[in-house]
Amino acid sequence: MKIKILFYLFIGFNIYSSYCYRCGTDLLKNNISMMNISSIGNSKRRLMDIYTPIKIKVDYKNIENQNLMKKEKLDKLKSIFSETISALSSIISVMREIIAGDITDSINQKCGIKDLEPESKTGFINYDILIFPSISDSLDKNVLAAATPCLILETYKPKAGIVLINKDLALTKIDSENYMKNLLLHELTHVLGFHPIMFNGLNLVISKTIDGEQFTYINSPKVIEKAKLHFGCDNIVGIQLENQGQDGSVGSHWESRYMLGDYMISSDYSDVVISDLTLALLEDTRFYKINYYTGGLFRFGKNQGCAFLEKKCLYNKGENTLFSNEFCTVKNEPVCSGSHISKGNCYIKEYTNNINDKYRYYQERNKGGMIVTDYCPVSFILETDDGKYYYPKSCNGGKNENNNEIIGHDSMCFESSISLSEKKAICYKMSCDKTNKIINVYIGNNVITCPGNKKTLENPNGLKGEINCPDYNLICTSDIWCNDMFDCIEKKSEPDLTTYDYYSNKEALIEKDKNNLKVNDNNDFDDEDNEANNKKNMNNNNSISNFNRNSLLIYLFLLLI
């Protein structure tokens, strides 16, 4: 009955649009139970004194009994689960907590799972955590998966979790394996600790009220340490959690305005990487020892200084930005993603309702970027795909759309008009010259040399057109080249190895940050405009409150079924 209830919790919740898959983690938090060790018959508990790679057991008994997925599709899903868990075992080590005794009753009572594989019944002897996947035939088509821990110890250490998977999830697309690994990694990370109940129980968060709105920040020690390094700012007191959307995203994912591209944001974004900040959060639970080497692929906001966290993304009524690698200003303009792994266009639209003044950058009251980025315009896939790819614009494994374009693990996105009728975001093969600190870009039979600093080259090597060169220190982040987070893990998995240089030119970064902080980003909208907008926002807030009350009533009703 509990699993059935979990399925129905998702029915009726709106999706922003096709760009956001809803992960229902926050909606499931009320089903989490603490396990009393004494409740396990003949229980004995012992904590090993050495760290070993985490051992995760996936029990498929329930999913097989459901008969909602054909065997061929289920076998592929099992294979993807196995690869994802192997990657997690390379990243995460744990002091094994051995709990002897049959846990069948506990899993049945706390997780709603009746039938267990024989190996799972005494799973806490051989495994650190048990995962029970289930197929849902009730999830909205855009909600592909959701997850929650369902059983935790009194220390808040997770021991079992549920992963819900939409039965209509397509595994026949060209890049479905890569997409599904990213999706499962996201959901499993929720079970491991990226979850509100752990945030609060382990005192990893603080709340602040700013202009009447409450914001939640992760302020754990390791996250602060890694954030200071990544953004190049020593004044960080916390990294914000998502404040937009409904219950499935708020408070249980990173705020996309600052962390776009990390795999633990709430939106289904094509630029998917593992950041040190997410790994640091897992380590700050004190349950895990972390291998931080993931190639330094998270580049959004990298080395942008305190201004990136404190100033608005756009100023001068939306015409300018201090952070051109992250944000854009011209609607539909071809732009690369922040990590240069994916192509896209500048996402700016006119919404039906007016935007809160706090997130308003244009004279028009309803004009802005993506909701989850606090309406800041960023690179996004605008056109509808033909259904063959999850990530059609990825330079690693998407569609080849232009002459001289190369798709592959050695490719990155560049904004270029070379041999094209107009400037496009295009994937070129490239390499890092670590001796001379330059980027080599391969266009047809030509090799274009991009200097170390961010610069636009006109007619390089006599070729007609121009190319925007990214900063060498942004792109060339590791001693072993990798451009995909699973590829990074496979190529080099050594404990605590950090080979990328955050502070290659710290003095210049500090001076840049000082100048950025001086920029006046006040849009100077007139008072009448603000007053009208505030009244509209009050109505919007009332609508949201009504939505939350209705959701709570639905949830309480279902519990009584």
Read off the pLDDT of residues 324-345 as tens digits, 9 standing for 90 and up: 999 999 999 999 999 999 999 9
- Residue pLDDT, tens place only, 471-500: 999 999 877 788 888 988 888 755 444 445
35 confidence band (pLDDT: 50, 70, 90): low
Q: With bands split at pLDDT 50, 70 and 90, how would you rate the model's confidence at 101?
A: confident
Q: What is the pLDDT of residue 2?
A: 34
Per-residue pLDDT at 545:
35
**pLDDT tens digits for 409-462?**
999 999 999 999 999 999 999 999 999 999 999 999 999 999 988 999 999 999
Task: Answer yes or no: are the C-beta atoms of 369 and 375 closer than 8 Å.
Answer: yes
* 391-413 tens-digit pLDDT: 999 999 999 998 889 999 999 99
**pLDDT for res 536:** 46
% of the chain surpassing 70 pLDDT: 80
With a cut of 90, say whether residue 74 has pLDDT above it.
yes
Highest mean pLDDT out of 31-40, 177-186, 509-518: 177-186
- Can you list the domains of the chain with their CATH numbers? 1-192 (3.10.170.20), 324-495 (no CATH)
pLDDT of 11 > 90? The answer is no
C-alpha closest to that of 366 among 256, 529, 255, 544: 529
Over residues 271-277, the mean pLDDT reads 93
- Is pTM beyond 0.75? Reply is yes
| Reported confidence tier of residue 553, pLDDT bands at 50, 70, 90 | very low
Instruction: With a cut of 90, say whether residue 13 has pLDDT above it.
Output: no
**265 touches 460 (CB < 8 A):** no
User: What pLDDT is recorded for position 320?
Assistant: 96
Whether 175 has a pLDDT exceeding 60, the answer reads yes
| pLDDT of the residue at 168 | 86
pLDDT at 552: 31
pLDDT the model gives residue 505: 63
Short-list 107, 92, 89, 106, CA closest to 39:
106
pLDDT of residue 190: 95
DSSP state at residue 292: -
- What's the pLDDT tens digit per position in 200-250? 999 999 999 888 888 999 999 999 999 999 999 999 999 999 987 665 677
> What value does the mean pLDDT of the chain take?
83
Q: Give residue 541's pLDDT.
A: 43
pLDDT score at 420: 92
Residue 45 · residue 99 · CB < 8 Å: yes
Give the pLDDT score at 267.
83
More confident residue, 385 or 132: 132
Query: 280 Cβ partners below 8 Å, 6+ apart?
Result: 220, 222, 223, 225, 226, 290
Q: In what order do the strands lie in the sheet with 44-53?
A: 44-53, 92-100, 288-290
Percent of the chain at pLDDT above 90?
Answer: 59
With cut-offs at 50, 70 and 90, classify the pLDDT of residue 39. low
> In three state form, how does the secondary structure of 203-264 look?
CCEEEEEECCEEEEEECCHHHHHHHHHHHCCCCCCCEEECCCCCCCCCCCCECHHHHCCECC
Instruction: Let me know how long the chain is.
Output: 561
Q: Which two tokens stand for residue 434?
A: 């670590």
The residue ranking higher by pLDDT, 131 or 17, is 131
CB 339 within 8 A of CB 500: no
